[in-house]
């Protein structure tokens, strides 16, 4: 039987490989990403897009400085 932590790591690696964070960084909305990935709950997509949101904010802040 596969352990939950192992499955999470494998799925995270797979999703990172798909570039989900990049989709969000380059302008896809959470709903668009949900359509691509088949997720039914926006909260799950937000787990993958939080880092890119931080990058967007940091980039925006640097440009204003």
Is the pLDDT higher at 6 or at 20? 6
What are the tokens at 2? 């596969």
pLDDT at 49: 77
In whole angstroms, give the CA distance from residue 28 to residue 30.
7
pLDDT at 33: 82
What digits encode the pLDDT tens for the residues 13-50?
A: 777 767 766 777 677 888 888 888 788 888 888 877 77
The overall longest dimension of the chain from CA atoms, in Å, is 52
User: What are the φ/ψ torsions at residue 28 (nearest 5 degrees)?
Assistant: -70, 140
Whether the pLDDT of residue 59 is over 80: the answer is yes
pLDDT at 21: 67
Closest CA to 34 of 23, 12, 25: 23
The residue range of the domain holding 23 is 4-64
How many structural domains does the chain have? 1
């Amino acid at each position: 039987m596969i352990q939950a932590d192992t499955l999470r790591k494998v799925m995270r690696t797979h999703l990172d490989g798909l570039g989900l964070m990049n989709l969000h960084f380059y302008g896809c909305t959470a709903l668009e990403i949900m359509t691509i990935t088949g997720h039914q709950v926006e909260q799950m997509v937000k787990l993958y897009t939080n880092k890119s949101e931080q990058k967007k904010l940091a980039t925006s802040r640097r440009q204003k400085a």
